[in-house]
Structures are given as C-alpha cells and as structure tokens.
Amino acid sequence: MFAFDGNEGCAIVTNSSRRLELAEKIRPRVFLIGGATGVGKTTLGCALAARIGVSSVTIDDLMTVARTVTSPELHPGLYLFHGMSYVDYFTNGTLTQFQHDAERQHAAVWPFVKKLILKHFDWTTVPLVLDGWHLRPHRVVELDRDVVDASWLIIEPAVLIERERQNTEFASQSPSPEKMFQNFVERSLWFNDLVRAEAEECGLNVLHQDGRSTVDDLCEVVLSKSNQN
C-alpha cells in the first residue's frame, strides 16, 4: 500500500500487516487536514498516513483528475487557476480578488471531495488521509463525525512569514518580488483566520502551529483527538 503526497512526490510503502491492522482499528475512516496555503497540510497528511499505514491524497490531485472528466463551461470553478501563471496572479491580484476566487473554487471542488469521502466507505474500511486548503469547516461539519475526523492546521502569522521568507525561489520570477510575497501572505493569513473562526464555531478540531510543534507532535494530537471521539 502506498502513502502518496502529491506536492512533495513522496511515496511510502507500508505493507506491514501490523500497520494494516492498526488502520482498520481506527474509528474514523477519513482524516481531513485543512488550512491555509503554506501551513504544512500536505506534510502533516503524508506523515499521518505513514504513521498508520494508509494512503494520503491531496485535493489538488483530485482536481487534476476532475478536470479530465469535466469542462470549463460546466464546472468553471475547477478551472480558475488552471494554466494561470501564479507569478502574475499573486503579483497583480488584490485580496478582494483572492477571496472571491477562493470562494468560487472551494464551492466548485466540494461536491467532488464530498463524493470521494462518501464513496470511500463503499470501497474499503481502511482509512484515508485527505488534505487541501479547499476544505471549509461549515461544509465538513455536515458529514458524519463517526466516519470523518477533520482538523484544521492554524499557523502563527510570524511563523508563516518566516517560512515563506526562506522560500527564496517562490517570488524570484516576479518583476515585483516583495509585492508578490506580501499578496501571497495576505491571502494565506486571511484564510488562516477564516477557517480558524469557522472550525471553532463548528466545534471542529484546530491544530496550532506556533513554530515549536513538530510534525510528529501534530500527528499525536490528531490521533489522540480521534480516539476521544
């Protein structure tokens, strides 16, 4: 069995019968990891999947598949950023535009994500880890909590800014690197605050990344919360 991380391209072979037995004993069948861009969702998802020996999937990968069976005319929200230069988008865009585009994309993606979650139980009883910034607490809360365990990774602003500053290649192609950087961070922090407020209002799990928590620490929190439900 493979745990696949779509952003990092990591594949972890976990054929251990012990891990399979552990996975089947875990009550939630789908672990959802949400949060803003750049907070470490996929890293956490991949680590959590490796910990329990199951598959990890990013919603970005699901969107790639969905676009092979849809069209821009029928599902325009799935194509908002398809083929777009992220450099131009974050250099020249505004927060209002980013917010509008995020709402449209997330609304368009959710039916596909929801169907995958519900259909997963028809295919197997082995858990799945699914991550993406497209996950919104006010939609996820409608799912059966006995079979879905959702967490949102919330990051301290200073930690996010420091991380992105270290990613020197990100804005290097922009004619205005600092403007692109600031726009990207502004969008991420807006969404960071938005999903934290939504998750807390919906009574869903919030993971705090203050720069001191390791990926293993966060995995332990997710699993401990799951065992309590």
Compute the distance between CA of residue 201 and CA of residue 197 in angstroms, rounded to an integer: 6
Q: 3, 91, 7: which is closest to 53 by C-alpha?
A: 3
**Residues of the domain holding 8:** 2-228
pLDDT digits 0-9 by tens, 106-160? 999 999 999 989 888 788 778 899 999 999 999 999 998 778 999 999 999 999 9
**CATH number for the domain including 163?**
3.40.50.300
8 pLDDT above the threshold of 80 = no
**14 pLDDT exceeds 70?**
no
Q: Model's pTM, two decimal places? A: 0.85
pLDDT > 90? residue 7 = no
Find, among 85, 46, 79, 84, the residue nearest to 64 by Cα.
79
Whether the CB-CB separation of 148 and 140 falls below 8 Å is answered with yes
Q: Please state the domain count of the chain.
A: 1
Mean pLDDT of 48-64: 92
Q: Report the candidate in 6, 144, 12, 125 with the shortest Cα–Cα distance to residue 62.
A: 6
C-alpha distances (whole Å) from 121 to each of 2, 116, 141, 148, 177 are: 18, 9, 18, 11, 45
